Structure 1
Amino acid sequence: MRSNWKSRKRSRYIDAAGRMCHACGESLGQDLEYDRYTELIRGVLCQYCSGAVYECPHPDGCYRADYLNHPPAGHLRERYYTGGNRNDRPRLRGAAA
């Protein structure tokens, strides 16, 4: 079951760039995909592209590279929540002390 924030973000990205995979455009987009360094959501990908988009060796000229360089819903610039759950917070605070 998806959490509410993830469903809302997914719906927003689908509204902005369509229901089909934002990389290949051939299958329904299912998974939010985000940049692991900036934590910004780039779009919604199908199951195949979600696992294969980072395997693209091309700097440009293929659909995967085009998606990574210019995501169709990238203008929304929303962050993907990568934090832990509530039980992780006290443990992390204690480790930093």
Structure 2
Amino acid sequence: MNIEYFGNDKYRVLACMAERQISLNDKNVVKLSQQEIADILKLSKVKVNAIIAELKDNCYITQNSPRGKYTLTGKAVKALEKLKA
């Protein structure tokens, strides 16, 4: 894992999502919208959209529906554990 990858707002977005997961049908999901994440982190929705797209492209999250409901992958969980250590 490249720690520098998370040296900016990507970590903040991923951590925000991880902290707000809920259990739904025996699966942890994040039901926050991009606007809600932007409001929580005081970032623009455009920036959050770009970060989420990059996190999806790099297999840190998957999107379960067109409007929200993200799932953190095992890769994301491992990255967060390393970064918190």
TM-score with structure 1 setting the length: 0.26
Structure with more contact order per residue of length (Cα contacts < 8 Å, sep ≥ 6): 2
More helix by share: 2
Compare CA radii of gyration and give the structure with the larger one: 1
More strand by share: 2
TM-score with structure 2 setting the length: 0.28
